[in-house]
Amino acid sequence: MSHVEIYEIPALRSPIMVIAFGGWSDAGEAATGVITHLLTTLGSSDSEAVDSYNSTLIAEVDSEDFYDFQVNRPLIFVDSSMIRSLTWPGVQIFGVRNPDGDRDFILVRGVEPSMRWRTFASEILDLAEDLEVELVITLGSMLADTPHSRAIPVSGTGAHPDIATRLGVEVSRYEGPTGILAVIQDGCVRRGIDAIALWAAVPHYANATPSPKATLALVNGLEDFLEISLPQGDLPENAISWESAVNEMVKEDSDIEEYIKTLEESKDANEISDDSGEELAREVERFLRRQNNSNES
């Protein structure tokens, strides 16, 4: 029995499925922030919207069989009329037209499930196959020893050497505890669906609030991999404000301030010896893509 309730199947062009889950793999809410950003900049998240470039709520996953509600509790909201409504943790799947490219998106956003991960992943990938998805990109963000004052690192990996080589990313060498994203990646390999993972490194000392700088880094990572231009919205300004707020926080603790200086020195030394030229080239390519899109419009 399927646990996915289908609402509407929109006409999408060679859709790419992009997946992010809140929780273990969403430090600074950077990964789920990408999905929210794309929904609000590429289209409306209103499921009743009919404009060709708006998003459409394709489906929801029934939360009853996948969540421990003592871990992820339902939330009560009260509207302006004092009407109470109950919202359950779960997963929503949207279809979004991309007006600046020839491929559209299927965006998957929700809370990491508590149980029955193999069944859950199978349900998501069954829908992906029904929608003729040939590429799945999972997004994650992790806490790391990286300075907030430098570019947020984003790594791209493939779950299988053949996929990594063909798509031009590194082979994942991670060993240890994992989350639902890895289960979905494994399911893609078994089904012959191309899949990569993009992960942003979020400064571990600055994870108390959402990090728009890390979200922007993941958006840029998507752009670079897909060789397209995505709307930036207010992410650049919010990223600057976030960095300034962290700077103010750091000034109040001399030990953290000294620790960050050490991280900055290490980061700068690595960039000089490794790939600072590659990063500059990626920034130039993004600029040229946006200029080209502006001229075409």
* Each residue's pLDDT expressed in tens, for the chain with a length of 297 residues: 688 999 999 999 999 999 999 999 999 999 999 999 999 998 544 444 434 447 899 999 988 989 999 988 999 999 889 999 998 889 999 999 998 788 999 999 999 999 999 999 999 999 999 999 999 999 999 999 999 999 999 999 998 899 899 988 998 888 888 999 999 999 999 999 999 999 999 999 998 789 999 999 999 999 999 999 999 999 999 999 999 999 999 998 889 999 999 999 888 887 765 555 566 555 556 555 565 665 555
- What pLDDT is attached to residue 283? 57
Within 10 angstroms of residue 233's Cβ, the number of other Cβ atoms is: 16
* Host domain of residue 145: 4-296
Contact of 190 with 196, CB cutoff 8 Å: no
- What pLDDT is attached to residue 174? 83
CATH code of residue 153: 3.40.50.10900
271: Cβ contacts below 8 Å, ≥ 6 apart: 279
Distances (CA, A) of 47 to 42, 50, 77, 245: 14, 8, 19, 35
168: Cβ contacts below 8 Å, ≥ 6 apart: none
- What pLDDT is attached to residue 44? 47
Rounded-to-integer distance, Cα 31 and Cα 218, Å = 7
Chain centroid offset of residue 73 CA: 23
The total number of structural domains that make up the chain? 1
Distances (CA, A) of 35 to 30, 38, 107, 259: 9, 5, 6, 33
Place of tokens 């997963």: 91
- What pLDDT is attached to residue 51? 42
Using the CB atoms, write b or e for 92-115: b if 16+ within 10 Å. Answer: bbbbbbbebbeebbbbbbbbbbbe
- What pLDDT is attached to residue 172? 85
Cα radius of gyration (the chain) = 20
Place of tokens 């069944």: 119
